[in-house]
């Protein structure tokens, strides 16, 4: 297996971009990543495009990547369309990594994009709910569920109790949200750029169980792009960021005899990277909700089981703490444009390892981890992707 380097990284601002098309956002992210990599479109040999919801939102069910990239100069090379719910672009990154690591290609472009904003908000709800088994959705929530709201949040609320997150308490959940909104206030690419107090988070509308609106990721629009290469680019050696591990797994569905998909994936990622949680300097994880972030601390081995609360109370995961988590603002505040989320996490970590994040910079970061999940089936996530980056 060859080393794989991330030569270029770029993204749009996330948010509700009523006046921007998906193609417009894609073109901005692609141009930025190519420019950052110091290459041009004809240098790219294959493109992997992650998108989850265009079929439901715009009706573009097929050839999404070819349509979105039509004016970028990239048509003519193989374009592979990847749908894996919220993990679509991290899955695309895994495939791109495989292509370079195996020696099949020397330069690959990975794109994630999503346009979730629509005048008919029911389409956005259906897109979110479609990351579940729709038969199960109907069985649990009744026929026609999800046309007026996202019942996915009901699932998160219910699973929080099953997974033991009720031990956290609303005040602790609010602190996680406060952290991520503060980080996003320092991020010009974030959807929500206002720092909040715990009282403001707790006073926002209840969504499900202990979760309020400001403890949950918003629907966002946006695009993120990465250029992978087999060569390190010695012109910019200080910016060289390598992929030390790339792991994709599915969850266990209804079989609860084995570990959660996230636990199996992180064990494999640490083994491939030759590193452990003690080696990490910065983490971007999939905080669809504040409760999810706390549970993931333990599943990634960032702390022993049952001690996630201590990381928050000690402010260990804040900027300036011993292991900053979600310096971008995370899904809760940077935003969550489903198909673009996984790639955006890695863009943030590339910038962190290059020392380009300004006020939210983690000092001297050299090893970073991205954790992205997609969908839900039975009692586990449908898919999970882990990437470990190193400088």
Average pLDDT value for residue range 256-282: 94
> What's residue 128's pLDDT?
82
What confidence score (pLDDT) does residue 277 get? 98
Residue that wins the pLDDT comparison between 143 and 59: 59
Tokens of 93: 């990154």
Whether residue 353 is predicted with pLDDT greater than 80 in this model: the reply is yes
pLDDT at res. 126: 82
pLDDT band at 141 (very low <50, low <70, confident <90, very high): low
Q: Average pLDDT over the chain, rounded to whole? A: 92
Rounded to whole angstroms, the Cα distance separating 299 from 81 reads 30
Give me the domain span that covers residue 66.
5-119+220-229
Q: Give which of 290, 291, 313 is closest to 161, Cα–Cα.
A: 291
Least confident of 42-51, 68-77, 376-385: 376-385
Residue 15 in any domain: the answer is yes
Q: Is 314 part of a structural domain of the chain?
A: no
What is the pLDDT at residue 238? 75
Domain presence at residue 282: no
Whether 172 is in a domain gets the answer: no
Does 285 have pLDDT greater than 70?
yes
Q: Measured in whole angstroms, how far is the alpha carbon of residue 294 from the centre of its chain?
A: 16
CATH number at residue 12: 3.40.47.10
In terms of Cβ atoms closer than 10 Å to its own Cβ (0-12, 13-18, 19+), residue 233 is: middle
Residues 6+ apart with CB under 8 A from 49: 64, 65, 68, 69, 79, 80, 81, 82, 92, 111, 112, 113
User: Does any domain span residue 71?
Assistant: yes
pLDDT of residue 129: 81
This prediction's pTM: 0.94
Banded pLDDT at 121 (limits 50, 70, 90): confident
Rg (CA), the chain: 19
Asked if residue 318 is part of any domain, the answer here is no
Q: How confident is the model at residue 134 (pLDDT cuts 50, 70, 90)?
A: confident
The answer to the question of residue 361 being in a domain is no
- In tens, the pLDDT along 18-58 reads 999 999 999 999 999 999 999 999 999 999 999 999 999 99
Residue 388's pLDDT is 98
pLDDT at residue 158 greater than cutoff 60: no
pLDDT score of 162 more than 50: no
Non-local CB neighbours of 144 within 8 Å, separated by 6+ positions? none
- Report which secondary-structure segment, H or E, holds 155: helix 152-162
pLDDT tens digit string along 290-313? 999 999 999 999 999 999 999 999
pLDDT of residue 148: 59
Total domains in the chain come to 1
Tell me if 254 is assigned to some domain: no
CA pair distance 324, 330, nearest whole angstrom: 11
Buried (b) or exposed (e) across 234-269, using 16+ Cβ within 10 A? Answer: eeeeebbbebbbbbbbbbbeeeeeeebbbbbbbebb
Which pLDDT tens digit goes with each residue over 188-219? 999 999 999 999 999 999 887 888 999 999 99
């Amino acid at each position: 297996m060859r080393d794989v380097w991330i030569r270029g990284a770029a993204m749009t601002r996330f948010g509700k971009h009523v006046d921007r098309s998906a193609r417009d956002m894609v073109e901005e992210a692609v141009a930025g990543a190519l420019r950052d990599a110091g290459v041009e479109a004809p240098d790219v040999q294959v493109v992997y495009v992650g998108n989850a919801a265009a079929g439901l939102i715009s009706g573009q069910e097929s050839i999404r990547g070819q349509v979105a990239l039509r004016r970028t100069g990239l048509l003519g090379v193989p374009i592979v369309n990847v749908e894996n719910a919220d993990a679509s672009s991290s899955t695309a990154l895994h495939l791109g990594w495989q292509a370079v690591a195996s020696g099949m290609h020397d330069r690959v472009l990975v794109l994630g994009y999503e346009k979730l904003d629509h005048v008919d908000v029911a389409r956005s709800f259906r897109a979110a709910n479609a990351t579940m088994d729709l038969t199960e959705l109907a069985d649990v929530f009744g026929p026609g569920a999800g046309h007026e709201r996202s019942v996915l949040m009901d699932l998160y609320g219910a699973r929080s109790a099953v997974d033991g997150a009720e031990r956290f308490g609303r005040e602790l959940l609010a602190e996680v949200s406060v952290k991520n909104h503060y980080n996003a206030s320092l991020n010009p690419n974030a959807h929500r750029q206002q720092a909040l107090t715990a009282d403001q988070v707790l006073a926002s509308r209840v969504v499900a169980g202990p979760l309020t609106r400001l403890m949950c990721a918003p629907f966002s629009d946006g695009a993120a792009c990465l250029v992978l290469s087999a060569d390190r680019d010695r012109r910019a050696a200080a910016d060289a960021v390598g992929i030390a591990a790339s792991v994709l797994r599915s969850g266990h569905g209804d079989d609860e005899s084995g570990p959660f998909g996230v636990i199996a994936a992180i064990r494999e990622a640490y083994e491939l990277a030759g590193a452990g949680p003690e080696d990490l300097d910065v983490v971007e994880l999939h905080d669809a909700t504040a409760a999810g972030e706390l549970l993931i601390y333990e599943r990634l081995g960032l702390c022993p089981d049952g001690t996630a609360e201590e990381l928050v109370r000690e402010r260990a995961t804040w900027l300036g703490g011993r292991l900053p988590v979600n310096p971008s603002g995370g899904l809760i505040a940077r935003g969550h444009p489903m198909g673009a989320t996984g790639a955006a996490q890695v863009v943030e970590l590339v910038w962190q390892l290059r020392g380009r994040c300004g006020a939210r910079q983690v000092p001297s970061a050299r090893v970073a981890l991205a954790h992205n999940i997609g969908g839900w089936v039975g009692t586990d996530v449908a898919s999970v992707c882990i990437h470990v980056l190193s400088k």
